[in-house]
């Protein structure tokens, strides 16, 4: 008899999942605690492991938990080039998750158009890669603030340009994910959390192609 399927919000223990841009890996660890297993999960960071440990001291315990429960943990995974990663290049996923994508602060304000464009480049690259890594009924999830100036990123438009369709937008509540600590990930305050505020999880899918009508 197989293991009973377990859910936490939009995520099932039966989903083959890829998590991108994890900070201290607390979101992955949250899912794992609920599922009791991480055998279907690949969790990644952009930084190398040594840098992750310096930026996020809390990552050590989360990584230990993930690895114990069968998670594949990969470091130095760029969302723009992950389709060429030796481990990932031939894989398909039911859920590809990128929480709070961010380019880091290169300008003085998040309101500046130059800064917004940098964020958009991060998101566009993710969508292009994710599109090629989704299973037939898979979903790419981006959790993102929806108030100004974050709404100017135009996440839905970026996905459409990459060949993905919005299936659903749902309110994101951090309390739904016990133990998850969203991290800044850059600068002197890289290990600090930030206020989520108005926020949604956007679910994108592959377009549905219909064939010619029957005669």
pLDDT in tens, 51-75: 999 999 999 999 999 999 999 999 9
What one-character-per-residue DSSP string does 88-109 give?
A: TTT--EEEEEEES------SS-
Contact of 29 with 2, CB cutoff 8 Å = no
Residue ranges of domains in the chain, CATH in brackets:
15-205 (3.40.50.150)
Tokens 């690895």: give the residue.
67
Length of the chain: 215
What is the pTM (predicted TM-score) of this model?
0.91
Tokens 């279907």: give the residue.
40
Q: What is the arithmetic mean of pLDDT over 178-204?
A: 84
pLDDT in tens, 8-49: 999 999 999 999 999 999 999 999 999 999 999 999 999 999
Q: What is the arithmetic mean of pLDDT over 162-169?
A: 96
Residue 77 CB contacts under 8 Å (≥ 6 apart), including other chains: 20, 44, 45, 46, 85, 88
For residue 185, pLDDT over 80 is answered with no
């Amino acid at each position: 008899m197989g293991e009973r399927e377990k859910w936490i919000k939009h995520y099932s223990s039966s989903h083959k999942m890829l998590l991108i841009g994890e900070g201290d890996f607390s979101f992955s660890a949250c899912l794992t605690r609920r599922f009791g297993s991480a055998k279907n999960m690949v969790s990644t960071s952009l930084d190398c492991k040594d840098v992750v440990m310096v930026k996020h001291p809390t990552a050590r315990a989360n990584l230990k938990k993930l690895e114990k429960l069968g998670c594949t943990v990969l470091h130095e995974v760029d969302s723009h080039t992950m389709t060429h990663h030796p481990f990932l290049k031939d894989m398909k996923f039911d859920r590809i998750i990128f929480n709070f994508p961010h380019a880091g602060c290169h300008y003085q304000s998040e309101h500046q158009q130059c800064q917004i464009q940098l964020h958009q480049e991060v998101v566009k690259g993710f969508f292009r890669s994710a599109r090629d890594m989704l299973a037939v009924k898979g979903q790419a999830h981006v959790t993102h603030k929806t108030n100004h100036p974050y709404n100017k990123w135009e996440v839905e438009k970026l996905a459409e340009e990459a060949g993905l369709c919005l299936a659903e937008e749902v309110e994101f509540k951090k309390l739904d994910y016990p133990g998850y600590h969203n991290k800044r990930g850059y600068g002197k305050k890289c290990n600090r959390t930030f206020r989520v505020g108005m926020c949604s999880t956007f679910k994108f899918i592959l377009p549905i192609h219909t064939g010619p009508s029957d005669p």
